[in-house]
Amino acid sequence: MTSIVAVTAHDVRFPTSLSMDGSDAMNKDGDYSAAYVVIHTDDPEVKGYGFTFTIGRGNDLCVEAARQRGLPLIGRDVDEAVADLGGVYRDLASDSQLRWLGPEKGVVHLAMAAVMNAMWDLAARRAGKPLWRLLVDMTPEQLVDAADLRYLSDALTRDEAIGILTDLAPTRAERIADLEERGYPCYTTSAGWLGYSDDKLRRLLQEAVNEGYRHVKLKVGANLDDDIRRLRIAREVIGWDANLMIDANQVWDVPEAIEWMKHLAEFKPLWIEEPTSPDDVLGHAAIRAAVAPIGVATGEHGMNRVLFKQFFQAEAIDFCQLDAARLASVNEILSVFLMAKKFGVPVCPHAGGVGLCELVQHLSIFDYVYVSGSLENRVTEFVDHLHEHFVNPTIVRNGAYVLPTAPGYSAQMFDESVATYTFPEGAYWASR
Amino acid sequence: MTSIVAVTAHDVRFPTSLSMDGSDAMNKDGDYSAAYVVIHTDDPEVKGYGFTFTIGRGNDLCVEAARQRGLPLIGRDVDEAVADLGGVYRDLASDSQLRWLGPEKGVVHLAMAAVMNAMWDLAARRAGKPLWRLLVDMTPEQLVDAADLRYLSDALTRDEAIGILTDLAPTRAERIADLEERGYPCYTTSAGWLGYSDDKLRRLLQEAVNEGYRHVKLKVGANLDDDIRRLRIAREVIGWDANLMIDANQVWDVPEAIEWMKHLAEFKPLWIEEPTSPDDVLGHAAIRAAVAPIGVATGEHGMNRVLFKQFFQAEAIDFCQLDAARLASVNEILSVFLMAKKFGVPVCPHAGGVGLCELVQHLSIFDYVYVSGSLENRVTEFVDHLHEHFVNPTIVRNGAYVLPTAPGYSAQMFDESVATYTFPEGAYWASR
């Protein structure tokens, strides 16, 4: 028997604000950070790694919340726990005192994501499989038992969920073979940060085209003239056959979003991302009606499954951009995938930051193989930053994620990276 | 010139779980707590006090978040700051790194509430007025400058807000005189906690009737047979002319809420409160359509103004129960009052916990005098717990809040209470 003996949480921050990587209309100077969780067992070979993602200040709040979230795990038998990750999730979520601080949103929910991500990593390692394969090998009933369906039964019943997961079973193997052949398609945001010069933008876009990307994304929303100039450059470089997406990072009110988009429509964006408050279901629905055929996308700040349920019910979005470190891990993400399938909305997960690509590739692969069965209108974000800190980094070839093969959720960072960038006492920060 | 020299935050917890005060279907063992903020200036006579409310574990997260939220205040001139509380609010809210952790929800937003509550207290003390009077003496333009209208313009424009605030100006003095005469009507939840025995329930309900209350509220949702028995007792004691409200504290899915309420309809509740997830705008709208003429109420977990905007737009609620320590203080609450007026929804604020009654009385008074102009269907929660820890406690007479007269927002606790109940090192907790 192997038992969990400790759950440690680490405040790891990378100084990305120095290079303006990640700059957009709302977030001018983020330091990409992870509240990084390690689940320790009495076997030094058996550990689980997970994290949530933040952009700097306040990462310490998530670290402390994750430490508190993880306390009920201590003493549990590993094999019993990984065999019932739905039960583990419900046990952690049932802390009504911590629940008050959300419920199911903000710091305490980010901390749930970090801890449960580490539990899923532990489960996949224990099974000797990459996470996507662990999920693919689970039965529909096992998946639904793990999923958090609370508050969703007006949109998705348990029976419907099992039906969705059963429907595509006969062709699962074909889709795995398909992905092994060509990978899961991704798009790049590395070119389009707002803080980059026109020359750098042009150069990076050309590189993206050369690397085989068919989708690129630019940040917009700070200044209309700048947006028009940058989108013109983008179309010059990528042409009109490739897909151009734009992202306003929540800067607009609803009427402002509709008005601003009138001026950008000529560049035929595939989607406008985060046009307004991420909480505004009805606002997104109004924007979607006004800007069609331009699609509306949101989700990186989508706080929980109840919000996504409403986005689907209100027909408010064309693309669902769930985040692997904001939703409470696979348990909650399963529910969103299932609802997206039922309502016919493609899931194009948010990634970037630090480690989000490493996580999200597993989710998109699972979605295609087991839930959606389709790659149409599906493309997962990729940003080429900070992968060097991960033991099993994402590999992208020809604009597609290569299927991960190492056991786990790809969430483990190198010990040296954690030590160097731990805030504030790690070598990097201590020397500043 | 008086300057802010420090913002301290204190983890104050009261052991209410011992007596089952506050027990309901979701929250079985809360320890009512405050992340209590003191703004210190270089004049020892000039301080501001505020807090957010939690139910125990995780209060430390709000305390640390409040400390971080308050840092930009240090060094500011007091008179300049209190003359521009809209500017102060926007300055604090503009921290994009902390914003990522919400945005505008959860721990970082609760911390904004605590800090801005202390700033409003400081402003009212500086003016020598109770907060409600400070607000009543502001012009419509000053109020709208202080309000957070971001993301609301599809529901409420600045001009509309000024119009609403101007409309009732001629009769403001009459309403102040009216309240000075009879107070602001309240209802009591003290009788109805789920953990109380039938005998205690009956006794407390009789006391409420004897004290002049025309509204009482009971917790429901844990067990249908218990609910029916307890509601029958309630109607026996209070009769059928008094108003009976019930509160499920988010335990149901949408279809379950509708089904359960069929069995409680015979007791003619005025409202069902928190029937499902507090985030579920469309779910509340569906429940409301199904349970009419029973009203639907929610808001104590209403995370921000964007959520309330949607409750109004979707016609999802009959009663708006905003919380003075969850919304980001007067700045955000002003916007909710204004939208409620425009959409014709009465605001019946949540209170109870620790200190929420002390805050919320000011808000309801302001609402009646300046915004709603009506007491119809309006009643503010009152729970008779923990007032003894406040320097200027709420006074309730004949089922109505007596107008506060002391300068400030009534948020100051006795130093001895803070010291005794500071967690974990205060005398009470250290001895356990």
Residue B48 belongs to a domain with what CATH number? 3.30.390.10
Structure confidence at residue B139 (pLDDT): 98
Taken in order A100, A104, A109, A113, the sign of the CA dihedral is positive
Better pLDDT: A372 or B16: A372
- Residue A414 clears pLDDT 90, i.e. is over it: yes
- Residue B147: inside a domain, yes or no? no
Residue A28 pLDDT exceeds 90: no
Instruction: Determine which of A110, A282, A303, A327 to mutate to test the interface with B (most B C-beta atoms within 10 Å).
Output: A282
pLDDT number for residue A223: 95
Residue A239 clears pLDDT 80, i.e. is over it: yes
Q: Which domain holds residue B371?
A: 169-414
Binning pLDDT at 50, 70 and 90, where does residue B18 land? Answer: confident
Residue B372: both structure tokens together:
């709603």
Contact B282 A57 (CB under 8 A): no
Q: Which residues of A touch B254 (CB under 8 A)?
A: 151, 153-154
* A303-345 confidence digits (pLDDT tens): 999 999 999 999 999 999 999 999 999 999 999 999 999 999 9
| A110/A199 same-domain check | no
CA torsion sign, B250 to B252 to B258 to B263? negative
- Token match 């029937």: residue? B275
Is the minimum CB–CB distance between B158 and chain A shorter than 8 Å?
A: no
Domain co-membership, A203 together with A57: no
Of B338, B342, B298, B290, nearest to B318 by C-alpha is B298
pTM of the prediction? 0.98
DSSP-assigned letter for residue B371: I
Which helix H or strand E contains B245, and what residues bound it?
strand B243-247
Which residues of chain B are within 8 Å of residue A278 when distances are taken between CB atoms? 103
Contact state of A27 with B314 under an 8 Å Cβ cutoff: no
Q: How far apart are CA A36 and CA A22, in angstroms?
A: 20
pLDDT value of residue B20: 67
The verdict on B9 and B126 lying in the same domain is: yes
Q: What is the pLDDT of residues B259-284, one digit of tens each?
A: 999 999 999 999 999 999 999 999 99
Query: Can you tell me the mean pLDDT for A3-23?
Result: 89
Non-local (6+) Cβ contacts of A32 within 8 A are: A13, A14, A16, A21, A22, A53, A55, A56, A353, A354, A385, A386
If asked whether residues A120 and A174 sit together in one domain, one would say no
- Which of the following is catalytic: B109, B219, B341, B362? B219
At A220, the pLDDT band (50, 70, 90 cuts) reads: very high
- Would the pLDDT of A114 be above 70? yes
Instruction: Assess whether B48 and B78 both reside in one domain.
Output: yes
Same domain, B280 and B195: yes
Last residue of some domain: A81, A111, A130? A130
Measuring CA to CA, how many Å separate A229 from each of A144, A202, A224, A268? 48, 11, 9, 14
Question: Which of A56, A61, A255 lies at the smallest CB-CB distance from B107?
Answer: A61
Q: At what angle do helices A59-70 and B59-70 cross, to 10 degrees?
A: 170
Q: What pLDDT is recorded for position A20?
A: 67
In chain B, residues 268-327 whose CB comes closer than 8 Å to chain A: 276-283, 286, 301, 303-304, 306-307, 309-310, 313-314
For residue B103, the chain A residues in CB contact (below 8 A) are 250, 277-278, 301
Q: What value does the mean pLDDT take over residues B307-312?
A: 98
Closest-CA residue to B271 (of B251, B253, B283, B257): B257
The verdict on residue A148 lying in a domain is: no
Task: Please name the amino acid found at residue B226.
Answer: D
Residue A258: list chain B partners with CB under 8 A. Answer: none
Indicate the range of A172-186, A189-203, A340-354 predicted with least confidence: A189-203
The stretch A222-233 carries a mean pLDDT of 96
Residue B38's closest CA among B28, B30, B47? B47
State the Cα–Cα distance between residues A107 and A174, nearest whole angstrom.
40
From the list B105, B128, B122, the residue with the least C-alpha distance to B6 is B122
pLDDT digits (tens, 9 = 90+) for A131-144: 999 999 999 999 99
CA–CA separation, B225 vs B227, rounded Å?
Answer: 5
Q: How far apart are CA B190 and CA B188, in angstroms?
A: 6
Which residues in chain A are contacts of B256 at CB distance < 8 A? 153
Number of domains within chain B: 2
Tell me, what's the pLDDT at B194?
81
Q: Are residues A113 and A230 in the same domain?
A: no
d(CA B417, CA B198): 32
The answer to whether residue A17 scores a pLDDT higher than 90 is: no
Residues A280/B103, Cβ–Cβ less than 8 Å: no
As a whole number of angstroms, the distance between CA B365 and CA B360 comes to 9
Q: Is residue A65 part of a domain?
A: yes
CA-based nearest residue to A322, from A338, A295, A343, A304 = A304
- Kindly state whether A31 is in contact with chain B, defined as any CB-CB distance less than 8 angstroms: yes
CA–CA gap between residue B64 and residue B52 (Å, rounded): 12
Three-state DSSP string of chain A? CCEEEEEEEEEEECCHHHHCCCCCCCCCCCCCEEEEEEEEECCCCCEEEEEEEECCCCHHHHHHHHHHHHHHHCCCEHHHHHCCHHHHHHHHHCCHHHHCCCCCCHHHHHHHHHHHHHHHHHHHHHHCCEHHHHHHCCCHHHHHHHCCCCCCCCCCCHHHHHHHHHHCHHHHHHHHHHHHHHCEEEEEEEEECCCCCHHHHHHHHHHHHHCCCCEEEEECCCCHHHHHHHHHHHHHHHCCCCEEEEECCCCCCHHHHHHHHHHHHHHCCCEEECCCCCCCHHHHHHHHHHHCCCEEEECCCCCCHHHHHHHHHCCCCCEECCCCCCCCHHHHHHHHHHHHHHHCCCECCCCCCCCHHHHHHHHHHHHHHHHHCCCCCCCEEECCCCHHHECCCCCEECCEECCCCCCECCCCECHHHHHHHECCCCHHHHCC
Interface test with chain A among B97, B110, B313, B335, by most A beta carbons within 10 Å: B97
Query: Rounded to an integer, what distance in angstroms lies between the CA atom of residue A204 and that of residue B373?
Result: 59
Q: Is residue B139 part of a domain?
A: no
The ipTM, to two decimals, is 0.97
- For A55, the closest of B61, B97, B108 (CB atoms) is B97
Question: Contacts of residue B106 in chain A, CB cutoff 8 Å?
Answer: 101-102, 105-109
Does A215 map to a domain? yes
- Interstrand relation of B295-298 and B380-382 (parallel, antiparallel or unpaired): unpaired
Q: Rounded to an integer, what distance in angstroms lies between the CA atom of residue A10 and that of residue B226?
A: 46
What pLDDT sits at residue A178? 97
pLDDT of A393 reads 98
Residues B220, B287 within the same domain: yes
Domain boundary residue among A81, A114, A130?
A130
pLDDT greater at residue B22 or residue B290: B290
Confidence class for position A98, pLDDT limits 50, 70, 90: very high
Domain-embedded: residue A96: yes
Judged by CB atoms closer than 8 Å, whether chains meet at A96 and B29 is answered as: yes
Number of neighbours of residue B118 by Cβ within 10 angstroms: 30
CA nearest to A381, candidates A344, A405, A356:
A356
Q: Are residues B97 and B181 in the same domain?
A: no
Count the Cβ atoms, other than its own, within 10 Å of residue A265. 12
Nearest Cβ partner of B68 from A58, A64, A105?
A: A58
- Take residue A262 and report the two structure tokens written for it: 């009138």
Determine contact, residues A132/A362, Cβ cutoff 8 Å.
Answer: yes
- What is the rounded average pLDDT of the residues A153-176? 97
Q: Quote the pLDDT of residue B171.
A: 97
B47-54 and B215-219: which strand pairing?
Answer: unpaired
To the nearest whole Å, the CA of B320 is away from the closest chain A CA by 18
Single out the residue of A114, A104, A113, A112 nearest to residue B105, CA to CA: A104
What tokens were used for A153?
């039964």
pLDDT higher than 90, residue B190: no
Determine whether the interchain pair B282/A277 forms a contact, defined as Cβ–Cβ distance below 8 Å.
no
Are B424 and B403 in a shared domain?
Answer: no
If you average pLDDT over residues B300-308, what whole number do you get? 98
- Candidates A112, A8, A109, A11; CA nearest to A58 is A11
- Quick: pLDDT tens for A51-76: 999 999 999 999 999 999 999 999 99
Q: How confident is the model at residue B28 (pLDDT cuts 50, 70, 90)?
A: confident
- Is the omega angle on the peptide bond into residue A278 within 30 degrees of 0, that is, cis? no
Distance from CA of B242 to the nearest CA of A (A): 31
Q: What are phi and psi of A346, to 5 degrees?
A: -70, 140
> B159 at the A interface (CB within 8 A)?
no
Residue from A20, A69, A96 to probe the interface with B (highest B Cβ count within 10 Å): A96
CB A329 within 8 A of CB A83: no
Mutate which: B54, B68, B94, B105, vs A, most A CBs within 10 A: B105
Asked if residue A428 belongs to a domain, the reply is no
Identity of the residue in A56, A100, A306 whose CB atom sits nearest the CB atom of B97: A56
Contact A69, A110 (CB under 8 A): no
Is A157 a domain residue? no
Q: Are residues A296 and A345 in the same domain?
A: yes
Q: Across all residues in chain A, what is the average pLDDT?
A: 96
Q: Do B64 and A68 touch (CB under 8 A)?
A: no
Is B284 noted as a catalytic residue in this protein?
Answer: no
Cβ distance B154 to A26 less than 8 Å, yes or no, reads: no
* A106 near B CB under 8 A: yes
Q: Could you tell me the two tokens for B58?
A: 């995780």
Q: From the list B26, B103, B309, which residue is nearest A96 (CB)?
A: B26
**A97 touching chain B per CB within 8 A:** yes
Instruction: Give yes or no: residues A316 and A266 share one domain.
Output: yes
- The predicted model gives A155-171 an average pLDDT of 97
Nearest to B314 among A110, A282, A306 (CB): A282
Positions of A annotated as catalytic residues are 219, 350
**H/E stretch holding B364:** helix B356-366
What DSSP letter does each residue of B83-150 carry, written as one string? T-HHHHHHHHHT-HHHHTT-SSSHHHHHHHHHHHHHHHHHHHHHHTSBHHHHHHTS-HHHHHHHS--T
How far apart are the C-alpha atoms of A364 and B95, rounded to whole Å? 32
Task: Quote the pLDDT of residue A188.
Answer: 87
Cα(A393)–Cα(B235) distance, integer angstroms: 65
Domain containing residue B399: CATH number: 3.20.20.120
Q: How far apart are CA B60 and CA B104, in angstroms?
A: 19
Nearest to A324 by CA among A371, A270, A274, A365: A365
CA–CA separation, A334 and A342 (whole Å): 12
Lowest mean pLDDT among B27-36, B54-63, B170-179: B27-36
Q: Enumerate helices (H) and strands (E) in chain B, giving the number of each.
A: 18, 12
